[in-house]
Amino acid sequence: TDPVGDLGGEALPGPVADLGGEALPGPVADLGGEALAATVRAEAAEACERHGGAVVAPGEPFDLVLALSSADALPPEAQAVREPEIGAEGFVLARHDDVTVVLADDPAGLLYGWFEVVRLGEAAFGEARPARAHRPALRRRMLDHWDNIDVHPVMGQVERGYSGGSIFWRDGAARGDLARVRAYARLLAATGVNAVAINNVNVHATEARLLTDRLGEVAAIAAELRPYGIRVHLSVNFASPIVLGGLDSADPLDEGVREWWARTTAHVYETIPDFGGYVVKADSEGQPGPFAYGRSHADGANMLADALAPHGGVVFWRAFVYNHRQDWRDRSTDRARAAHDHFAPLDGQFRDNAIVQVKYGPMDFQTREPVSPVIAAMPGTRLAVELQVTQEYTGQQRHVCYLGPMWSEVLGFRFWGPGERTVADVAAGGGLTAVSNVGDDPYWTGHPLAQANLYAFGRLAWAPDLDPAAILDEWIGLTFPGGPGLVRATLHEMMDGSWETYERYTAPLGVGFMVRPGHHYGPDVDGYEYTPWGTYHFADRDGVGVDRTRATGTGYTGQYPAPWSEVYESLAECPDELLLFFHHVPYEHVLQSGSTVVQHIYDTHFAGAEEAAAMRLAWEKLAGSVDEALYARVKERLDEQVRCAEEWRDQVNTYFLRKSGVPDAHGRPIH
Ligand code: GCU
């Protein structure tokens, strides 16, 4: 048997004092330290039950000790690895003298240390391991659920959700049985996520009331998430004072309005003392906002920040603000410019507990976009970077598309050149957030392999410099424990390069969209070309792409600092994969790869569809090696992926053959 040492629960520290990377103003409620320590004890006891061993009292011999650094009687093994400051949520892991030690300053650190032991499995109890401190690079690691209480006739219950209904809401209310929410909390904690927003950023009438008379439902959900260190946030409607409070204004500078938010927020904290804060989509795609009152987004965000500050809460204020009623004939408006145009001038005006949440790209979660220049433009503001784990534009969880490599590229991007700060460094001040891909599907994510994206998000939010292939490897090990080597090798073969495969058969060279309007699934090259949404490719008989240069285009390249302002401006230097995002070029333009644009389009689309077919062949080798129902689910999705990839290939290739008149150099069938 392998006894597990006592957790040092007797000597728990008091309330966790700091919620931010740097100190935030105001007191902060207890993160639920007692509950967290109890969770770790229960996890350890359950693991012993499953794998053998027992939790023993101090004084008895043990193989693993999980201890708080403040515990009264720290065993010598733990004392030996003590560090002056491990820090919030961090832990030290070591193995020496045949004892594995997890030492943390707070119960959250113990929880994350425990899950690291789980991840390592037997290896945690093998060879000696020098003490190493693990600390989250980002303090806020958050998933935004675009879940509605009500089921929308077209969107379903979860906006851009591909995994069934909501895990929080059912039949018009919070679920009666929240066991699955508890299991979800556990799943998230194992990845490193510590915050969720439990309703859609588009806050409809029913969901707006979660802030007031339906707060009890939020509290019930918070109670399930708390034991795993996850704080609940609410998306709120900017017009709440009117919609819920009966006021005639939502003007952020109006005293009555400010008073209403202060009172309402105080009530939220009386009900949920460790409530995280608000998420706001304002003046965006029809949502109300401060523009209606001639006020700025800083005015709007600061009003909510002021209401939250006395309680230690934060507001995530989204920078996704653009004109969605554009005239496609008007070439002077560039949607890519919008967030920077609106927000960069406000830098330095936001309160310390107002976090501006910026989508990773300037458009909308496309398969390939340049990193949003807003992230470089607001050094005096806390910024959070927003990713999309739900695969709205990357195959809607019918296609295998492992996004770890994309996110890793984004997080490691250096605006100011080699050796300078990365996107992850900037986001450390605010956090990393993402739209969740989870629903009430038995596999959580519709496509079982889409779970890897959920896992990778949490891991990258904790440690942005982790290698995405290594993260995938961890996920495979945890999801298919004891599976034969064939499973591991095959999943790598299918998934490591799946993002690039998806890119190959969809919109070329960074131009984006070309999806069917509305639901955004499958190809429609001109689907958005004459719509008000600002998402155009401008293909004609001579060429394709959006001229965003300063010299002749919309000037968007000027929103970047050097060197990227120059690199993107230059036709010769602009990276191939983003060429059509920045430049309008003739079809015979020669890429850095040596291929012409139109030949590149043909080649990548043939290759992408072939790779999708190869993925399915690879999976078929696993018949009998993985659970039968899971095998069938993935197989059925791969059939659809192969079909859809061929449809993309044929529509895109045919479109560009017809526009350009340039034949494929290899004479392959184009219709
Ligand atoms: C996309 C998505 C919408 C969503 C919006 C947002 O446009 O299609 O469903 O509301 O992003 O991020 O707010």
- At 242-256, the pLDDT tens digits run 999 999 999 999 999
Active-site residue 285, yes or no? yes
Q: Which of 237, 283, 360, 364 to mutate to test the pocket of ligand 1 (most atoms within 8 A of CB)?
A: 364
CA of 67 to the centre of ligand 1 (A): 44
Q: What is the pLDDT of residue 20?
A: 28
Q: What is the pLDDT of residue 34?
A: 81
**3-class DSSP state for residue 170?**
strand
Q: What is the mean pLDDT of residues 412-435?
A: 97
pTM of the model: 0.95
pLDDT confidence of 82, banded at 50, 70, 90? confident
- How much of the chain, in percent, has pLDDT values that exceed 70? 95
pLDDT in tens, 539-577: 999 999 999 999 999 999 999 999 999 999 999 999 999
- CA-to-CA separations, 416 to 347, 379, 406, 426, in angstroms, rounded: 18, 13, 20, 12
Helix, strand, coil shares of the chain, percent, nearest 5, are 40, 15, 45
Q: What is the mean pLDDT of residues 372-384?
A: 98
The closest-lying atom of ligand 1 relative to the alpha carbon of residue 392 is: 8
pLDDT in tens, 223-235: 999 999 999 999 9
Q: Which of 154, 280, 285, 391 to mutate to test the pocket of ligand 1 (most atoms within 8 A of CB)?
A: 285
Instruction: Report all structural domains of the chain as residue ranges with CATH numbers, in order of start.
Output: 9-134 (3.30.379.10), 141-325+332-467 (3.20.20.80), 503-546+584-660 (3.90.1330.10)
pLDDT in tens, 190-236: 999 999 999 999 999 999 999 999 999 999 999 999 999 999 999 99
Has residue 169 got a pLDDT over 50?
Answer: yes
CA of 263 to the centre of ligand 1 (A): 30
**Minimal-distance CA residue to ligand 1 atom 2:** 160
d(CA 265, CA 212): 9
Listed residue (106, 21, 6) closest to 428, CA to CA:
21
The closest-lying atom of ligand 1 relative to the alpha carbon of residue 386 is: 12
Q: What is the pLDDT of residue 132?
A: 96
**Minimal-distance CA residue to ligand 1 atom 12:** 320
pLDDT confidence of 12, banded at 50, 70, 90? very low
d(CA 34, CA 41): 11
Has residue 43 got a pLDDT over 60?
Answer: yes
Has residue 332 got a pLDDT over 50?
Answer: yes
CA of 515 to the centre of ligand 1 (A): 14
**CB of 335 sitting under 6 A from ligand 1:** no
CA of 342 to the centre of ligand 1 (A): 18
Active-site residue 43, yes or no? no
Active-site residue 98, yes or no? no
CA of 585 to the centre of ligand 1 (A): 30
Q: Is the confidence metric ipTM above 0.85 for this complex?
A: yes
Q: Which of 157, 388, 392 to mutate to test the pocket of ligand 1 (most atoms within 8 A of CB)?
A: 392
pLDDT confidence of 58, banded at 50, 70, 90? confident
Mean pLDDT of the chain, nearest integer: 93
**CB of 202 sitting under 6 A from ligand 1:** yes
**CB of 235 sitting under 6 A from ligand 1:** no
Q: What is the mean pLDDT of residues 398-416?
A: 98
pLDDT confidence of 72, banded at 50, 70, 90? confident
Q: Which two tokens stand for residue 450?
A: 């889409």
pLDDT confidence of 529, banded at 50, 70, 90? very high
pLDDT confidence of 289, banded at 50, 70, 90? very high
CA of 490 to the centre of ligand 1 (A): 34
pLDDT confidence of 617, banded at 50, 70, 90? very high
pLDDT confidence of 257, banded at 50, 70, 90? very high
pLDDT confidence of 484, banded at 50, 70, 90? confident
Q: What is the pLDDT of residue 32?
A: 54
**Minimal-distance CA residue to ligand 1 atom 10:** 202
The closest-lying atom of ligand 1 relative to the alpha carbon of residue 159 is: 9
Q: What is the pLDDT of residue 77?
A: 87
CA dihedral 444, 449, 453, 459 (to 10 degrees): 90
Pairing state between β 99-104 and 91-96: antiparallel
**CB of 340 sitting under 6 A from ligand 1:** no
Has residue 134 got a pLDDT over 50?
Answer: yes
pLDDT in tens, 439-460: 999 999 999 999 999 999 999 9
The closest-lying atom of ligand 1 relative to the alpha carbon of residue 359 is: 12
d(CA 363, CA 320): 9
Neighbours of 329 (CB within 10 A): 6
pLDDT in tens, 140-150: 999 999 999 99
CA of 117 to the centre of ligand 1 (A): 38
**CB of 360 sitting under 6 A from ligand 1:** no
**CB of 201 sitting under 6 A from ligand 1:** yes
Active-site option among 364, 503, 569, 603: 364
